[in-house]
Amino acid sequence: MKKIIRNLLCLFLLSYTMTSCVSVAAYQKMHLNDKDMALGDKKLESFEINFQAYREGAAGANGGKVGGGCGCN
C-alpha cells in the first residue's frame, strides 16, 4: 500500500512539473470549454455508475457513489 501511495505521489509530481509550463490563455480555450471536454462524468451517467458500483466489486475515483444505500438487490 505504501508503495502504491509513494508511486502515485511521484506520478503526480512528475506530471505537475512536466506540464506546469503549459499555459493556454482563456481566449484560446474554445475547444477546452466544450461541455463534452469536461474532466468528469456527465450527469446522466450517474445512474449507470450507481448500478455498476452495485454489480461490480470495484468502485470509486469517478465522483460516483461510494457509500450510503446498501446496494443489496
Partner 1 sequence: MIIKKIYFIISFIAITFCTQAQDGYQMKPNGNYSDIDFLSSYYAQDGNNAAVTGGVGTEELTDFANILVVSVPLDSTQSINATFGLDIYSSASTDNIDNNRSSASVMDARKYGNIGYTKKLLSKGFTYGARVGFSGEYDYTSINGGINLAKELNNGNTEFAFSAQAFIDSWKPYYPSELRGEVSVPTTSRNSYNAQLTYSQVLSKRLQMSLSVEAIFMDGLLSTPFHRVYFIDQATPDIERLPSNRLKIPLAVRLNYKPTDKLVVRSYYRFYTDDFGIDAHTFNLELPYHINDNWTVAPFYRFHTQTGSKYFLPYAVHTSSEEFYTSDYDLSELNSTKYGLGIAYTPLYGLARAKVPFTKKVFMFNSISLRVSRYTRDTGLTGYGASIGMNFRL
Positions in the binding site for partner 1 (CB under 8 A): 1-2, 4-6, 8-13, 15-17, 19-20, 22-26, 28-32, 34-39, 42-48, 50-52, 54-63, 66-70, 72-73
d(CA 15, CA 7): 12
8 Å CB contact between 64 and 41: yes
Question: Which residues neighbour 5 within 8 Å (Cβ) at sequence distance 6 or greater?
Answer: none
Residue 27: CB minimum distance to partner 1, A: 11
Residue 7: CB minimum distance to partner 1, A: 9
Residue 20: CB minimum distance to partner 1, A: 6
Reading the block at residue 4, the C-alpha cell is 502504491
